[in-house]
Structure 1
Amino acid sequence: MLDRIRIFAGSSNPTLAQDICRCMGLSLGSCLLSRFSDGEIRVEIHENVRGADAYVVQSTCRPVNENLMELLLLVDALKRASAARVTAVIPYYGYARRDQKNKPRVPITAKMVANLLTAAGVDRIISCSLHAGQIQGFFKVPVDDIPGEWIFADELAKVLTGREVIVAPDAAGVARARIVAERFQLPLAIIHQEAETSWSRPVVVGEVRGRPVVIFDDMVVTGRKLCRAARAAWEEGAVEVVGFCVHPVLSEGALERIGASPLRRVVVTDTIPLRSRGTGDIKMETVTVAPILARVIEKAHEGASVSELFT
């Protein structure tokens, strides 16, 4: 059944692509990715893909624009090489944080990227924990989004004792945290702050005193929101604070903030390669998404239900 699958890797996360192939018993597809002297991206597919079910594994993380353009060119090259279907496997979907027009004269970048991928000829999208559910509706092709609570399901099941409180670090993350709380039958608390200013103190809505706290979110970027939530829970009497965040974007200074915070550890995934960037490295733990992406790819290839994996 898998003999017509071809998996190719962009530059953003080749190790993850190799791990996916290892889980499926396949070899990574051969292609050339380089730069011309003026910086333009050069892409060549080095094997026959005519009639194949092709998958391109590429997170659109830093450098975002380079990785996005590389993905578009890989999709275009495979379509022009007569692949029967091309699926973009985008573990981390960059530009997702602007998914609505929340002020005048701003772009909806998540929709713009969807338009670019559609124009390049992609037939399907597979992603992990999209920042907002409506992003799936920006595409005219099927989108399989793997929920964050399922990505961490095994790890959470191993560490949760039944005494924890699941915490949403802000109002926007309540829906994600509530799913985790309901799945494991744990109470939910929310960090509320009137405004992100030096004189506005975050308030914990819910009871965390004397209990371990698990802060759940889809990504950690600057680390400020995560650390602020951790500090608020700690000051309210939480006995331990850990974070579960799917995408380790980790901009400059994030690991230093995490290192100086009350967080005991932060569990992330390999949707973005975790590089050593600061003193908070010791607190970081990584869970791989390769096995679950491999299962989704197999289901998509077979034309079987993907959603049954998450029920």
Structure 2
Amino acid sequence: MSKYRTSLPQIDGGTFLSDGGIETTLIFHDGLDLPHFASFVVLDTETGRRRLKSYYEKYLAIARDHGVGFILDSATWRANPDWGARLGYDAAGLRRINVAAIELLEELRAEWETAATPCVISGAIGPRGDGYKAGNMNADEAEAYHGPQITAFADTAADMVAAFTLNNINEAIGIARAAKTRAMPCAIAFTVETDGRLVTGKTLPEAIETVDRETDAAPVYYMINCAHPSHFEQALKAGEPWMERIRGVKANASAKSHAELDESETLDAGDPLDLGQRYRRLKRTFPKMHILGGCCGTDHRHVAAICEACMPLAMSA
């Protein structure tokens, strides 16, 4: 049974951390083979489950040491029908793996949660296609496509769902509608190119305002992920209503473009201290951005640097 589904603690403010780039960490630091960049496959072995627990525990220790909350996002970004089929998972197999991912997070919450560090369990959803290329689904198709994964999460202890690296507004609308139908709180995280726009050319305000208009503001909040802060800082405007809807950032370590990252065979881990300072400036300008984590190329060192840079602001807020 879920613990926070009807009252998400991060909505009330206070700093919440989340993890970093799970796939890049498992591939480049742990030496695991993740076909099609799918981290959920490690859940099928006991060794893989132990690796995942160890991965999350590095971040949970940072949160507990600093007395802040934590969002436990499941390793299910690729656990949808198209990507699952490429990896040999049918509908029943995908449901099983999505449920198993949440069960692992339940174990972690039982071991790590304290009164000062509430742990919210979030079922992670990824785009149907490539997060760096525009999809072409309409909203109805997206609602039907992502519905089974959200249903699987709704039948577990997951407190919410979060859709990451979305670049298609219609897909975001469909996911938000599917989550609303299943009474699952939903966060939507858009990714942008180096010009601060979605790959379709749409702006962040266009994306957020359109999803809100078409879903009666169903998402509980929005985030930006899988882009370096230098790519989207110029797109953020203090004082505008749509900015009030952005509550979190999970940025890339590298300032390279998505096209450059796609061609790279090595990991660009960037500069954790510089990333922390960029988050500090973002949080100073936009105080409601209090959910802080990382994406591609980041690991627990980046999140620790972000926490160290932002905690003074969080404590004085």
Shared fold per TM-score greater than 0.5: no
Q: Which has the higher helix share?
A: 2
Structure ranking higher on relative contact order (CA contacts 8 Å, 6+ apart)? 2
Q: Which has the higher strand share?
A: 1
Structure index of larger Rg? 1
Normalised-by-shorter TM-score class? 0.3 to 0.5
Given the two structures, how large is their TM-score scaled by the length of structure 2? 0.36
